[in-house]
Structure 1
Amino acid sequence: MSKKVGLYFGTFNPIHMGHLVIANHMVENSDLDEIWMVVTPHNPFKKKSSLLDNHHRLEMVYLATKEYDKIKPSDIEFSLPQPNYTINTLTHISDKYPAHSFSIIMGEDNLKSFHKWKNYEAILDDYSVYVYPRISEGIIETQFDNHIKINRVEAPIVQISSTMIRNAIKLDKSVRPLLSNEVWKYIDEMNFYKK
């Protein structure tokens, strides 16, 4: 069955309630049928030292999303050559699932630098982009404001970050309300982010 799928990319190190709030809001308040949480193997802009292994982050996304029918974990990028670019993932996933149509989900802050992405014009030729708001200095104006493929979705602004969670765990502070129960248990049992 053909579906409109929104791809929500992230290292999810760890996945937290903010990610789930945004994913759920996007799928419930747009024409998307499903959101796939695409776990990125390694972002060249992030320090690798604090990044958990791919399979642990994928497991946490699975644990966080298993009760949501419209939100799914995806390891599609694990098999792609690194460093990888979004255009490559989109081409690969479209070939693999030809019945589905795919879109990208991104924060407003990423839209500002979207023109620097590799082959961003090709992305906009073939795919739509769904943008959720981020707290910023006033309204972010971009060259894409009236673009037919850019869809802005009014979503709650969530001020939780994975970095904040990792730092709190390192300081032995409770982060339980910021994580789904299953993810919190997994992190606690595995002793992740303690040092």
Structure 2
Amino acid sequence: MNIGLFFGSFNPVHVGHLIIANHMASYTDLDKVWLMVSPHNPLKDKNALINMYDRLEMARLAVEESINISVSDAEFKLPQPSYTIDTLTHLRERYPEHNFSLIMGADNLASLKRWKNHEILLRDYKIFVYPRPGFDNLELIDHPSVTLTQTPLMELSSTFIRRAIKEGKSVRFMVPDPVIRFIEAKNLYG
């Protein structure tokens, strides 16, 4: 099976993430997309993250009715911070029957050369890239492993969602209802 790995903090998960995941599962040769909840992205501030288990649960709630999108906590069992190459090595050993590809935004492709063992990622994995505002002329876009998709451009961010919640503004239709209920019940981001 061809599995697309969509890594993220999902702090919180929102409809932008879900639209991208669904597009990749529906309009590429991927059979499924796994939302890979990252305990700590080495390029992000760990102090801005809420508990990883709350982020995992929100992601699960967001995709509970999906047949081609699921959630993985594989990085929870690995040393932190999480490096994509280490996670892929772990997954290949655990699931040798699957072919794994990466899903990333154009902003991440722009910084890929800063990633641990980026040459191996480019050599051994297909990378499906979705557009991001302001990232049009990318050095690696013509690499044979890279596929630029026609995913709808998403300008919604978890940072915007967190700020809106903190300010007491509605995030309805931007965040799935079960996730909103979870955030409210646990008083997250307030």
Q: Compute the TM-score of the two structures, normalised by the length of structure 2.
A: 0.96
The structure 1 segments of at least 4 consecutive aligned residues displaced by more than 4 Å after TM superposition are none
Looking at structure 2, the residues matched to 6 and 165 of structure 1 have their Cα atoms a distance apart, in angstroms, of: 25
Q: Name the CA shift for 1:102/1:170 in 2 (closer, same or farther; >3 Å).
A: same
SS in 1 for 2:97: coil
Looking at structure 1, the residues matched to 146 and 60 of structure 2 have their Cα atoms a distance apart, in angstroms, of: 28
AA partner of residue 174 (structure 1): S
Moved more, 111-120 or 61-70: 111-120
Deviations 1:120-168 (A, max 9, x none): 111122111000011116x2231x2222111111110111111111111
RMSD value, Cα: 1.1
The aligned counterpart of 2:120 is 122
Looking at structure 1, the residues matched to 144 and 3 of structure 2 have their Cα atoms a distance apart, in angstroms, of: 18
Give the CA deviation at 1:85. Answer: 1.1
Looking at structure 1, the residues matched to 143 and 151 of structure 2 have their Cα atoms a distance apart, in angstroms, of: 19
AA partner of residue 141 (structure 1): L
The aligned counterpart of 1:26 is 24
Percent identical among aligned pairs is 48
Q: Name the CA shift for 1:159/1:174 in 2 (closer, same or farther; >3 Å).
A: same
Match of 2:6 among 5, 8, 11: 8
CA contact (8 A) 1:12 1:57 kept: yes
Looking at structure 2, the residues matched to 46 and 127 of structure 1 have their Cα atoms a distance apart, in angstroms, of: 24
The aligned counterpart of 1:43 is 41
Task: Provide structure 1 residue ranges, at least 5 long, that are not aligned to the other structure.
Answer: none
AA partner of residue 188 (structure 1): E
Looking at structure 2, the residues matched to 11 and 98 of structure 1 have their Cα atoms a distance apart, in angstroms, of: 26
The aligned counterpart of 2:137 is 140
The aligned counterpart of 1:154 is 150
The aligned counterpart of 2:70 is 72
